[in-house]
Chains A and B, each alone.
Chain A
Amino acid sequence: MPRWLRLSVVVGIAALVVVLMLSFRRDPHDIRTGTVNKPAAAFTADRLDGTGTLSLRDYAGKVVVLNFFASWCPPCKEENPALVRVWERYRTSDVVFIGIVYEDATDKARAYVSANGVTWPTVRDDDGRIAFAYGVFGPPETYFIGPDGVIAGRRIGAISEATLVASIDKLRAQASR
């Protein structure tokens, strides 16, 4: 085997090993791709309770928390109490929660909503276009939209009360500036 080939093989193997070692630092829940820091996609959707439609535009200037959920999703049920508590805290201010159904039958979603005390506005997304526009990987996923209409952050997986409060407070501070 010629020397140059031998050398490149040795270097290649060494590089491979280094890469494999570096890959251990990866956190698979940290997905930075997608729609964060871009303007939130506008949408108009049918309300889940059948009382007409809801547009994102209606809430311009407010802090909007979008939560994608489904009745078949156990982590959604787990995070729900936190959502309920935070909603109670902020509902009278300039913060809005909107729940968006992800890949679920309407009647099952309605049952979930009433069984779990979801009192914030919820909408249907039967063709999945809203989920697509936001880059949803699967429920539960929560998006934070600032008063400027830009997606400030998102969380994949069940969200904790602390994260909710921290993200909302940060956006409200921005608004008051």
Chain B
Amino acid sequence: MTRERALILVALLAILGAVAWSAWPRELTAAERVDRITSELRCVTCQGLSVKDSPAASARQMRDLVVQRVAEGRTDDEIRGEFRASYGDWVLLSPPASSWTGLIWLVPIVALAAGLAAVLGRLRTVVPNAAAPSPPELAALRERVAREEALDLPEADGAE
């Protein structure tokens, strides 16, 4: 293995490790649970802010309610259910994955897939194999590239 490949491999492993470390599922504290739940509930007197973000009085009281329910041991779904009972699905800032509204989660996936399919269909599958240049050819090519980089070649520009 070349030195470069070894370095790349080690670096990729380090990145993977760091990501795994930070993504490792862990028990959320009560405060974190409250934060997470309130960030998904809509403040009813605001223009789209979450209960967590809003400084409005009604939002703060709703936050207190969530704190109380979390302390009572209710699950996230039960707490959200209580809000839904009072305000309907409108109060959820993130549509639940079940039911019709959940379709919205598919949008980015479908868009990406369709786009990728269209692009991949246009790419050449095989790069024609050219013979590797000899050392003097390679040196001449390198010099030419360096010169083109440094020279003031005109760019394709318009009528301005």
Contacts and interface: CB of A to CB of B under 8 A. Distances in A.
Direct contact of A and B (CB under 8 A): yes
B105 interface: no
B86 A135 contact: yes
A74 to B, nearest CB: 16
A35 B64 CA distance: 21
Interface size class of B (residues with CB under 8 A): 10 to 19
B65 interface: yes
Interface in B69-103: 85-91
Secondary structure type dominating chain A contacts: loop
Contacts of B45: 137-138
Interface size class of A (residues with CB under 8 A): 20 to 34
A128 interface: yes
Secondary structure type dominating chain B contacts: helix
Given A34-B87, A35-B85, A132 B61 contact: yes
A-B interface, 4 closest residue pairs, ranked by CB to CB distance from nearest? A33-B88, A128-B61, A135-B86, A103-B57
B61 A135 contact: no
B118 A5 contact: yes
A35 B87 CA distance: 7
A132 B85 contact: no
Nearest to B56: A103
B86 A35 contact: yes
